[in-house]
Structure 1
């Protein structure tokens, strides 16, 4: 009987030790991307459906997540070096495929690539009109192949919407190429600036909403399966609804 109790105790201890070893605190990067990712500038509190979804997936897999607010360009470098485990909302392209393991998508969304100018500035009616402009672009952001690979355009590369918005108002650039109109408009609102408009020309774009992990990350398959389950059982839709948003 004593041997039986000792055997059971050893099995329990082994189980607990195994759980402790397998449980991980994963490093994840965050950035202000309304409405799906929000950073409160006064409290530095993070919120949004993309945060909740991946945290719930991690919890169900026995892991936790430690968040850091990081510019997206640095997040890409961290994915390449393996310094971070998860980055929400990484757009898929051929260059990133070499070092990013895409997890998802949790949805597909229409994200037309817009161009924004000052209200009194020149309209953009076709792609060719961009040749005459200084165009603000965000460092590390993929827009669409024709634009990304066009070295004849005068592109002014900056880190964030904060700088893009202020450079447009100051007439240091003529236009901004925009993937997330909501994020840029948030900056204009902070500035109390309304002298801007979307141009006639835009690039129609439908993208998958992926999380990025380093290539060959040991947990990427588990997260892919868990997120697929959350999509299938409607949990992703429920989380988006909590914020008054649609996953589509």
Structure 2
């Protein structure tokens, strides 16, 4: 009788341990930004998609991608509706609800450039020329400190890159700022050459991009394991190989 009781208790402990293990999928807040993340043939693809998938696989986790505009992705993370986001800049405000992995997964070296219409006579040669212009920005995105904190500028927030381009072409904004690699996938090659041009002024400081977890995520207690595995993937060249093959 004692043996049966002890055996029963052991089975209960084992069952409890198995149920306590986090089997839920890792929910990835995903905003569309080719070549880093995009949706094609009913699947998510891109550099960031492959990196987070590889990281999850190494830790025996399943992933679920949830597409959202950038601002909504941040809201999902703040509320705990998503677990993780990839390729995000570290800011004081975001540190209130995000925990970042130790190392950045990338350092963005392409400059932030200001786009204007090809037929525009605007001259944006320095920061002061931005005054009184209608400047398109992505909602909740950050660019560089001086610009982000400047409340005197007329910033027009939109949801995605396509809206930025269309509003510029329709003369609803005077300019927008972004890196060229993020703009080109959203516009026809001919239109890019014939309808828009780059202003002289640009911001050319590199920016680190990180993988960050919601502080309300059920995976937050495993943050050290994620960090260690990411460091290993960086050291082994696996993450660079993903970049090189895209």
Q: Mark yes or no: TM-score above 0.5.
A: yes
Which residue in 1 is equivalent to 2:203?
Answer: 203
1:157 alignment partner, SS class: strand
Deviation for aligned residue 1:16:
11
2:202 alignment partner, SS class: coil
The answer (yes or no) to whether the contact 2:108–2:209 under 8 Å persists in 1 is yes
The answer (yes or no) to whether the contact 2:37–2:45 under 8 Å persists in 1 is yes
Deviation for aligned residue 1:170:
0.5
CA distance in 2, matches of 1:139, 1:165: 14
Which residue in 1 is equivalent to 2:118?
Answer: 119
Q: TM-score, normalised by structure 1?
A: 0.85
User: For the aligned residues, what is the CA RMSD?
Assistant: 2.4
Which residue in 1 is equivalent to 2:186?
Answer: 187
CA distance in 2, matches of 1:160, 1:59: 30
The answer (yes or no) to whether the contact 1:101–1:214 under 8 Å persists in 2 is yes
The answer (yes or no) to whether the contact 2:164–2:176 under 8 Å persists in 1 is yes
CA distance in 1, matches of 2:163, 2:22: 42
Structure 1 runs not aligned, ≥5 long: 244-248
Work out the number of aligned pairs and report it.
233
Deviation for aligned residue 1:17:
5.7
Deviation for aligned residue 1:218:
1.7
Q: TM-score, normalised by structure 2?
A: 0.86
Deviation for aligned residue 1:58:
1.1
Which residue in 2 is equivalent to 1:35?
Answer: 35
Which residue in 1 is equivalent to 2:143?
Answer: 143
**1:59-99 Cα deviation digits (max 9, x unpaired):** 12121101111111011111111110011111111111111
